[in-house]
Amino acid sequence: MALPMPTTMPLLAPIYLPGQEPLPPGTSDWEKQEMQTALKYQKYLGMAMESCPLKVTLSGGAGFALGGFFSLMSATFAYEDPLSRASTQLSTRAQTMFVFKEMGRNMWSSGKGFAKVGAIYSGVECCIEGYRAKNDITNAVSAGFLSGAILARSSGLKAAIGGGVAFAAFSGAIDLYLRKEPSE
């Protein structure tokens, strides 16, 4: 009686012992070892891609870029007062350098703010989802509430709760939109 091979029972899971998966007939032992190490590193990479710290850094980086971009765009509305001391005493080149430095400073601080928001929200949501082991809308809403409260913690309790509620509503709305079924 032959061992049941997967093709005779197509809907069952093919279980093989770890060293005996069916590989093409010419694979040497070194190739099998290489395949095993490649699979191991692939598994580690997959674990890293789904991990919370990577999500936090990616969200923080994206927030930083977004904040810098917004600040760059809003720097076009900043004007240099022609009657201020800087414009009379400094040369044109120095004024230009000053404008650019100011723009860089604003971009940096605005980027830091957005990065903080993004990182905190992403970290809290990842932790809540990892704890609950479920994927639904309450992750986004509670993560929004917590991160709104964290970001507004220095303005008192009522402001923190209000900020939390507002951020929760905002992030819940965005998550609802992202979860909507495509209209096809």
Partner 1 sequence: MSFLFGGGNRSVEGSVDPAKIEMAVAELDMITDVFNRLVNSCHTKCIASTPNNHRYVEGDLLKGESVCIDRCTAKFFEVNKKVGERMSAMGSAAQASGSFGR
| Shortest Cβ 26–partner 1 spacing (Å) | 25
Binding of partner 1 by 4 (CB under 8 A)? yes
Binding mask 24-63 for partner 1 (x = CB under 8 A): --------------------------x-------------
DSSP string of the chain? Answer: -----TTTSTTS-----TT-----TT--HHHHHHHHHHHHHHHHHHHHHTSHHHHHHHHHHHHHHHHHHHHHHHGGG----TTSHHHHHS-HHHHHHHHHHHHHHHHHHHHHHHHHHHHHHHHHHHHHHHHH---SHHHHHHHHHHHHHHHTGGG-HHHHHHHHHHHHHHHHHHHHHHHSPP--
User: Is-contact 96 108, C-beta < 8 A?
Assistant: no
Binding status of residue 21 toward partner 1 by CB under 8 A:
no
Q: Which stretch binds partner 1 (CB under 8 A): 63-71, 103-111, 123-131, 142-150?
A: 123-131
> Which of 4, 156 has the CB closer to partner 1?
4
**Minimum separation from the CB atom of position 146 to partner 1 (A):** 17
Q: Which is nearer to partner 1, 48 or 90 (CB)?
A: 48
Residue number, 57 or 95, with CB nearest to partner 1: 57
Q: Which of 56, 120, 126, 146 binds partner 1 (CB under 8 A)?
A: 126
Residues forming contacts to partner 1 in the complex (CB under 8 A) are: 1, 3-4, 12-13, 15, 50, 126, 129-130, 132-135, 139, 179, 181
